[in-house]
């Protein structure tokens, strides 16, 4: 089946630990994104990548890191520098090629809780 | 910088009735894309409808339609014959065509459907 998978669904972290959230896609999309969702604040962009081995910071990149070594994968690491990491994290992909309408499709999300 | 505003944090509609969700945006671009996404309690983001700014005709998808007013920078979503399954958070999103594949989301409107 084509789609976007995120794992794990729920993740618990102790303060001071780094954790990595997985995002994999088999849609052959070039562009991938990470969003953070907090109650009442909508979606905020953390990082995005338009092609392999290239990525850009979004609006709230501090305390996060990413890599894009393969087209299919865009893992997000939440580092100990992130002050308030408890949130719902969404991964998205889009075709990333003009002139088609570039619609984003989303994975099921990961709920991260800091204990 | 572009912004997206959803001024209605919460709306209610009676089953089988019609409801309109508001979205305004600010941009200096002439060509862009607009989207409405639905996020049900499962938290899976689902594309509802999309509109290309250069098209004057309003997009329609079954019971969902938009009222796109480019001069007013308004993009409202109309849901006809509301069903219980329409209850969700609805997010308006904007993306321009400048080559960076960034999306900007509003803060969302929670829609309640009353039986």
Query: What average pLDDT does this structure show over A4-14?
Result: 93
Residue B105's pLDDT is 93
H or E stretch at B52? strand B46-52
Query: What average pLDDT does this structure show over B96-100?
Result: 73
For residue B84, give the 3-state DSSP assignment: helix
For residue A70, count other CB atoms closer than 10 A to its CB: 11
Query: What average pLDDT does this structure show over B21-39?
Result: 94
Residue A98's pLDDT is 64
Is pLDDT above 90 for B80?
Answer: yes
Contact A34/B at CB under 8 A: no
Residue A101's pLDDT is 66
Is pLDDT above 60 for B30?
Answer: yes
- Mean per-residue pLDDT of chain A: 91
Residue A46's pLDDT is 96
Percent of chain A with pLDDT over 90: 72
B75: which residues sit within 8 A by CB, 6+ positions away?
A: B23, B24, B25, B34, B36, B51, B66, B67, B68, B69, B92
Determine the distance in angstroms separating the CA of A91 from the nearest CA of chain B, rounded to an integer. Answer: 10
Cβ-defined contact of A109 to B43 (cutoff 8 Å):
yes
What does the pLDDT look like over A55-107, one tens digit per residue? 999 999 999 999 999 999 999 999 988 888 999 999 999 887 765 567 889 99
Query: Quick one: how far is CA A35 from the chain centroid?
Result: 6
Q: Do residues B95 and A102 lie in contact, with contact meaning Cβ atoms separated by under 8 Å?
A: yes
Determine the distance in angstroms separating the CA of A58 from the nearest CA of chain B, rounded to an integer. Answer: 8
Cβ-defined contact of A96 to B100 (cutoff 8 Å):
no
CA quadruple A22, A26, A32, A35: dihedral, nearest 10: -50
Cβ-defined contact of A105 to B100 (cutoff 8 Å):
no
Query: What average pLDDT does this structure show over B69-83?
Result: 97
């Amino acid at each position: 089946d084509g789609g976007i998978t995120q794992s794990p669904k729920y993740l618990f972290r102790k303060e001071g630990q780094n954790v990595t959230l997985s995002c994999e896609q088999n849609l052959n999309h070039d562009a991938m994104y990470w969003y953070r969702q907090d109650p009442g604040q909508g979606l905020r962009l953390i990082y995005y990548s338009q092609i392999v081995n290239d990525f850009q910071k979004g609006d709230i990149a501090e305390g996060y890191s990413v890599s894009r070594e393969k087209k299919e994968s865009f893992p997000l690491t939440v580092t100990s520098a992130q002050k308030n990491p408890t949130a719902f994290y969404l991964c998205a992909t889009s075709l990333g090629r003009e002139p088609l309408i570039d619609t984003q499709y989303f994975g099921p999300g990961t709920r991260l809780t800091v204990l | 910088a572009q912004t997206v505003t959803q001024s209605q944090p919460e709306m209610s509609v009676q089953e089988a009735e019609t409801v309109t969700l508001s979205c305004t945006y600010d941009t200096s671009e002439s060509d862009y894309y607009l989207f409405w996404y639905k996020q049900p309690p499962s938290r899976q983001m689902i594309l509802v409808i999309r509109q290309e700014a250069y098209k004057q005709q309003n997009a329609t998808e079954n019971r969902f339609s938009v009222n796109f007013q480019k001069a007013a920078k308004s993009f409202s979503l109309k849901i006809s014959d509301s069903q219980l399954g329409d209850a969700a958070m609805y997010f308006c999103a904007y993306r321009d065509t400048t080559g960076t594949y960034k999306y900007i989301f509003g803060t969302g409107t929670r829609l309640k459907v009353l039986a």
